[in-house]
Each structure stands twice: as structure tokens, then as C-alpha cells.
Structure 1
């Protein structure tokens, strides 16, 4: 016995491991994640005079700035059907992706007290961040739907395509949320790096412009390798203008479309693998 103690002491002590990513069962995990997400949603604007209106005000103000600049001063909307509604939808979807991914970077660190004191499945943290983002997106989509009704956008069965597109975006955001939240525990450079990545992603996605303005074939295809671009382009095709190329046609066929799909699935797999590997040791490394 004394020999074992001496060996542990000589090696610097035994590493303490905490609960894993999925320890505790799915029902408990989902209950905890929903509780954290709902509380975060409720507390986000607690004490502000306008409350939840700020959740709509910020993207609407951003939409107003881009709409004025890129319709009155820089002509990028000529001939684009339902351009204001398309621009607003693109901004809302992009904001959801940014909110989940950027919010997940410090998610584990910001919940240090919970991580150190409570035994719970660690994956609850990125799941809660993603759920909060979905709640905010649901509020924002109300404004989009109102603008679409006012503009007379025809409602067809193609609108059902938005459900798998949103699922595709959620998987992409959640995969990154797991990866970023685990990486930040050890590498604090992740936050400034990701701020640059999200800024670049906005301009690498056809939100304030459409693919038609990109005249170089290889550049259009490169843009479409971005999973966000796939979501925006297919949303435009399905909801606003079926005459524009679908994501499959814009990228050059089903074979090329497998690239952004592989990026999303690969991100989810790598994100879960790394988060699951790091989860038992996050309390020790905080």
C-alpha cells in the first residue's frame, strides 16, 4: 500500500477524472440542457426595458443597414426576387450559427462553478447553447414570416425543404460548438481566432450578395463548398425563387455537393470525439 502511494506521489499525483460527455442518461441530459437553455433565454434580457424585442431589434437593425447600403449605394439586388426578405432570412440564419458557435467558445469556462461542483453529463453545455440559439432563431423567424406575408411570397409545398435545411445547419453549428467549447478550455487563442473566422464566413456566404454577381465559375463553386452557402442558396431556391439554381446545380452536381455534407458530418464526428475525450478532465484544466 505504501509503495503505491509513494509511486503516485513520485509521479506528481493521480489525475482526477470527472463525468464524461454522456454520463447520466439521455433523459437527464436533455432535461438539464433544456433547463439551462430556457434560463439563459429568459435571463438574457432580464431587466431591460424592451426585453425580448432586443432579440429582434439587433438583426433587424443590421438588416436595415445592409439593405440601404446594398440597394441604394451598391447595386447588388437588381433583378433579385424578394431581395429584402431573402436578405433578412440570410442574416437570421447566419446570426443563429454565430450565436451558437461563438457562444460555445467560453461556454464551459463560464459555467466553471457547475463543472467543478455538480456531476452531470458535460455535453449538456454545448447542447444548451444550441437550444438557446434555436429559441432565439424561432423568435427571429416570426419577423421573417411577417415580412414574407407582407411581400406576398407564395407559400408552396417547397417550404417543407426548410426543415431539413435547418437540421443541416443545426448539426453544423452543434458540431462546432462541441469542438470549440472543448478546445477553449486548453487553448484560449480560440476566441480571437473564431471571431475572425465568423467575420470571414459572413462574406464567404451569399447573404448580402447572390451567386449571380460572382462571374468566375471556380469562385462560385468554392463559395458553395461552404455549408452555410448551401443552406442559404437552397433556402432561396425553395422559399423565394425556384428559377434560381438549387444548391446542387450551383455547386456543380451531387458529387460536389457531397463535399459540404462531408464537412458538416465530419465536424459533428470530430467535435463529439474531441469533446468526449476532453470532458472527464475539463474541471481539472479550468
Structure 2
């Protein structure tokens, strides 16, 4: 029990246990708190979450020779390979203004979503020992893994923004929209991490299957090609599905801020809707299984 029975009270002699529980508002140790209390506990550990995610990010590359430089090199190398395949060999750059910046933004922004999903799938399973010996809101773990992905995205911006400038774009006030765009994507990615963390805790093979699903999602998210140009020769429902896809939505709002004129409010409405719905649903989904994490 999380509350102690007052001294001098013998539950076996004085009152039935059920009545004692009701009178002193006792609850089982490790029982799932209400959603409000749970959120309050999670907020109370915000400093630990930041420190834990920063440490995990640093440890992630500690065994490699180049260390933290891989946070910048990995998306750059991916961009170079995809440019060769899609831009040069498959000519998907036709009709795209500033294809280099178009491609780099798409890869860097989608990589944030990808890293959040992969990190979330291992958030519980990789820290199962911690969940068995310490009492804390398990949501700390997917939040931390998502913050690791966010830190890597922030480092990537150090490379992405100069590339946008070098390829001919000029700073304008719309660049400030990058901040709310990434904030909304963070909310969406955190919701995804909550969903996949609960699934990954029950199904260990999730982290093995996920890369194949993410790769498919990558190809239908307009990272390498213009959705408008691709859908021009297809039925309208194809364009609608591709544009509503959240993987494409967050890529497009960042592109609209950095290299294109604004494409209308519908993109931002979709970005807000996906962020709010997925975060709320994912958080509730994860919270409902709070008592199961770390159990044998």
C-alpha cells in the first residue's frame, strides 16, 4: 500500500481491511494514478528527463571515432545518396524549385519522425531493468527518447540552413515559421513514441519490423519528389491521400517556410490536427498500460 495504516490499529481485530482501505484512502503500491496525477508526476521529473535524454544522446555515438559528428554526417550522406538516385538517375527533380534544398529539408525533417519512432519502440524494452527497480511515470522513457531525436534535429539545422542559403534562398520572415512547425512535429512524434513504446514493450520484434514500415512511409511522403507533380496524372484521391499523410505534412510546412511561398492554411491546419490528436491519443494509450511496463 502507498499509505501507512495508523499506529495502534490492528486491521485483523478492529476493522475489515476493505473498510480500512476506504477510510484511509489506501491504494495498491504501483497502481496506476489518475491521468491528472500522472501528468503532474511526469512534469515533476522534467529536469531528469532533460538530463537523461542529453546523456543518452551523448552515449549514442561515444563508441565511434567521429563521435557526435555523425549527427550531421548521417543525414548529409543520406541526402547525397538520395540525390544521386532520385535527382540524377530517376530525374524526380524535374519541375522542383531548388531541388537540393527541397531534398535536404525533406530528409532532415523526416529523419526526426523516423528517429522518434525507432527510439520509442525501444524506450521500455531497453530500460526494463530501470522500470523494475525504480518507481516513476513510465512516460519518462518515450519522452526522453523523443527529446534525443529532437536534439539531433537541432544539430542538423546547423547544416540544413546553410545549405538552403548556399543553394540560392534568402532569409525572410517566413523562416520564423520553422519554430512552430518543429514544435508541432515534436508533439506528433511524441504521440507516435507513446503508441509504439507500449506496443514495443509487449512485442519485442517491433523494433525489427519498424524499419521496413518506415521505409515505405518515407517513399510515400514526398521526400524525394513533388507530390503535386506526381499526382498530376493520377485521380484526385491519390493527391488527397498523399497530402494528408502526416509524414508529408510536416515536411511540406517546413519547405513552405524555407524555400516556397506559403501554400495556404490547410497545411497548418493538418499539422495542428495531427499533432493534437496523435499526442492526446498516444498519451492515453500509453498511460492505460502503466502497470504492465517492466512486469515479468
Q: What TM-score do you get using the length of structure 2 for normalisation?
A: 0.82
CA contact (8 A) 1:96 1:133 kept: yes
For 1:176, which of 174, 189, 192 is the aligned residue? 192
Question: 2:245 aligns to what?
Answer: 226
For residue 30 of structure 2, give the secondary structure of its aligned residue in structure 1.
coil
Q: CA deviation at 1:93?
A: 0.8
Q: How do 1:53-202 residues align onto structure 2 when only pairs under 5 Å count?
A: 53-202=69-218
2:56 to 23, 40, 48: 40
C-alpha separation in 2, matches of 1:232 and 1:197: 18
Q: Residue 283 of structure 1 corresponds to which residue in structure 2?
A: 294
Mapped to 2, the partners of 1:30 and 1:257 lie a distance apart of 28
Structure 1 residues 247, 97: closer, same or farther in 2, change over 3 A? Answer: farther
| Residue in 2 that maps onto 1:272 | 283
Could you say which structure has the larger radius of gyration? Answer: 2
Aligned mates of 2:242, 2:130 — CA distance in 1: 40
- Alpha-carbon shift at residue 192 of structure 1 (Å): 4.3
Q: 2:230 aligns with which of 206, 213, 229?
A: 213
Q: Secondary structure at the match of 1:93?
A: helix
**Match of 1:203?**
219
| Alignment correspondent of 1:10 | none
Q: Is the 8 A contact 1:178 1:275 kept in 2?
A: yes
TM-score (norm 1): 0.84
Q: Is the 8 A contact 1:23 1:120 kept in 2?
A: no
Alignment CA distance shift 1:97-1:199 (3 Å): same
For 2:124 and 2:141, the matched residues in 1 are separated by: 7
Structure-2 residue corresponding to 1:17? 30
1:180-231 deviation per Cα after TM superposition (whole angstroms, max 9, x unaligned): 1112222335334433321121011111001222222221111011112112
Cα 1:30–1:271 shift into 2, 3 Å: same
Question: Taking structure 1 as reference, are residues 263 and 157 closer, same or farther at Cα in structure 2, changes over 3 Å only?
Answer: closer
SS at 1:52 equivalent: helix
Q: Show CA shifts across 1:35-80 (max 9, x none).
A: 1101111111113211111111211111111111222211111232
Q: Distance in 2 between matches of 1:162 and 1:222?
A: 24
Which residue does 2:25 correspond to in 1? Answer: none
Matches of 1:27 and 1:233 in 2, distance apart? 32
Equivalent in the alignment of 2:256: 237
Cα separation, 1, equivalents of 2:40 and 2:237: 48
- Structure 1 stretches of 5 or more lacking a match? 5-14, 249-253
Determine which structure has greater relative contact order: mean sequence separation of CA pairs < 8 Å that are 6+ residues apart, divided by chain length.
1
Count of aligned pairs: 269
Residues in 2 aligned to 1:120 and 1:111: alpha-carbon distance in whole angstroms: 12
Tell me, in whole angstroms, the C-alpha distance in 1 between the residues paired with 2:41 and 2:180: 27
Which consecutive residues of structure 2, in runs of 5 or more, have no partner in the other structure? 1-11, 18-27
Provide the residue aligned with 2:22 in structure 1. Answer: none
Distance (whole Å) between structure 2 residues aligned to residue 56 and residue 29 of structure 1: 30
